[in-house]
Amino acid sequence: MKKNIWLIGFFVILAGALVAMWAAGKNTSLPPLAGNAETTATFEILLDDHVLGKSDAKVTIMEYGDFQCPACASYAPFLVGIAQKYPNDVRLVYRHFPLKTIHFRAEAASYVAEAASKQGKFWEMSEKLFENQSDWSTKRDNADFEKYATELGLDLLKFRSDAASTETKDRVERDLKNAISLKLNSTPTIYINGVLYDNSQSGDALLAQVEAEIAK
């Protein structure tokens, strides 16, 4: 009898863990979405979008990401690397999609990246946030964020003010609403020239798709 109870308990815990793992890839902070993400989309690149690469590049990689998302941290150096490998042909655009319920510091990190952007350091701050994700993501204070700002040579008073500003919060909210309009519910979500990339594939497949677009 005790053995059976132990087995039942084990499977209940296992089932809970599997559900939690599934939820980690979904944006449970948003209302339920009808269907899957839009498979194609037309993007207008705005003046304050975060762009790495030339405006006339043949290929646009549009990423909707979350700084506390482990998968986004894995993709980040790879995507930046593609843009750097093909500086004339590829531009990378990052838009915020913080999964606020399952990643309690994601929204704050988005504000931090926006504040750094106002001093010309968006990509540098993004790199620090992803590389040090396991440090700042478990804390409720901003000490780590301010440390990164100092390391990047930012004006700390301006950084603090910008990170807390209504303008910054509205900027992140704009990206979030844009993601919702596309029915996105996980990160990273990536479009290559307006076509949704299936991120269950390997990085090699993503690179091949980009190179095929360049060759057109």
Burial (CB count within 10 angstroms: exposed 0-12, middle 13-18, buried 19+), residue 154: buried
Q: What is the 3-state secondary structure of 4-67?
A: HHHHHHHHHHHHHHHHHHHHCCCCCCCCCCCCCCCCECCCCCCCCCEEECCCCCCEEEEEEECC
Q: 10 Å Cβ neighbour count for 72? A: 26
Question: Rounded to 5 degrees, what angle do the CA atoms 210, 214, 216 make?
Answer: 120
Residues 97, 46, 181: CA angle, nearest 5 degrees? 40
The full set of domains in the chain, from first to last, is 2-215 (3.40.30.10)
Report the pLDDT value the prediction gives residue 203, as an integer from 0 to 100: 86
How many angstroms separate the CA atoms of 120 and 158, rounded? 13
Q: What is the pLDDT along the chain (216 residues), one digit of tens a residue?
A: 444 444 334 333 333 433 333 333 333 333 333 358 999 999 999 999 999 999 999 999 999 999 999 999 999 999 999 999 999 999 999 999 999 989 999 999 999 999 999 999 999 999 999 999 999 999 999 999 999 999 999 999 999 999 999 999 999 999 999 999 999 999 999 999 999 999 888 888 999 999 999 999
* pTM of the predicted model over 0.85: no
Give the whole-angstrom CA distance, residue 20 versus residue 89: 40
Is residue 59 within 8 Å of residue 209, measured between CB atoms? no
Tokens of 137: 């993501």
Tell me whether strands 59-65 and 90-96 are parallel, antiparallel or unpaired. Answer: parallel
Sign of CA dihedral 12, 17, 20, 21: negative
pLDDT digits (tens, 9 = 90+) for 59-78: 999 999 999 999 999 999 99
Per-residue pLDDT, 23: 38
| DSSP H or E stretch at residue 90 | strand 90-96
